[in-house]
Amino acid sequence: MRHLYDKFKNRPFVNLDISNKCTLECIACSRQTNRFKGTPIPGKDTTISQWEKLNKNFTFICCCGQISDPIFNPNLREFIKICKKYGNRLSIHTAATSKKHNFDWYLNTANIYPSGVIWKFGIDGLADTSALYRTNQDSEFLFDTMIKLNRLGFRVQWQYIIFSFNEHQLEEAHKIAKKEKLNMQIKKSSRFEGGEVARPKQRENYVRKENNIKE
């Protein structure tokens, strides 16, 4: 990882995968593309010593995985403690679920550094539609977890990517976010590897990309 530190040593922000594990099979994820079919997922868990060095070089670390979910690094709680020690900010982007990660796990983990960590939950739609894209996601559990953590005062954000199967829920989602005083991020995609069926019907709900969308 030495090259990473040299390249970004004068910058306060970095985003990286801290694992190579995920239980989801999202249609447009790099894990599902041809370059990964039949081959092992590259990378491995970031170690505590690597994380310590990261915190000496960056003041804001974002764990928005391209091929993994950060909750599957077994050292995540130690990572949060290290961020707290340095007074750094941490953004944890998560969408995966597993039997090991129950609500108590999220609560105990969030309690380590409430003021310095923001939890961004990838739930695309409401609990009944998110898994249509995020295959294997226990959307009802994750949605409930997000709401509970927000009510308890933790820093939480709802990330909602618009697809054809959830765009009709946007109004209701906004109402829920307003009622719960929940920070909400609506994202428009240009990636519809799942086919035109996933592309929103309303033109304003997606980003046009010349290579994969024909008007």
Residue 164 is predicted with a pLDDT of 86
Confidence category of residue 29, pLDDT binned at 50, 70, 90: confident
Write down the residue that tokens 């998110």 correspond to.
Answer: 130
What is the CATH superfamily name and number for domain 2-205?
Answer: Aldolase class I (3.20.20.70)
Amino acid at 118: I
- Of the listed ranges 1-10, 119-128, 157-166, 193-202, the one predicted with least confidence: 1-10
pLDDT tens per residue across span 96-123? 999 999 999 999 999 999 999 999 999 9
pLDDT tens per residue across span 160-191? 998 888 899 999 999 999 999 999 999 877 66
End-to-end CA distance of the chain: 43
Amino acid at 13: F
**Rounded distance between C-alpha atoms, residue 71 and residue 125, angstroms:** 21
| Residue among 33, 100, 95 nearest 68 (CA) | 95
pLDDT tens per residue across span 46-88? 999 999 999 999 999 999 988 899 999 999 999 999 999 999 9
- CB neighbours of residue 6 within 10 Å: 10
The token pair that represents 26 in the structure block:
């999202």
pLDDT tens per residue across span 118-152? 999 999 999 999 999 899 999 999 999 999 999 99
| Radius of gyration (C-alpha) of the chain in whole angstroms | 18
Q: Above 70 in pLDDT, residue 194?
A: no
- Which whole-number Å values give the CA distances from 26 to 33, 80, 92, 203, in the listed order? 10, 27, 18, 23
Confidence category of residue 5, pLDDT binned at 50, 70, 90: very low
Residue 201 is predicted with a pLDDT of 64
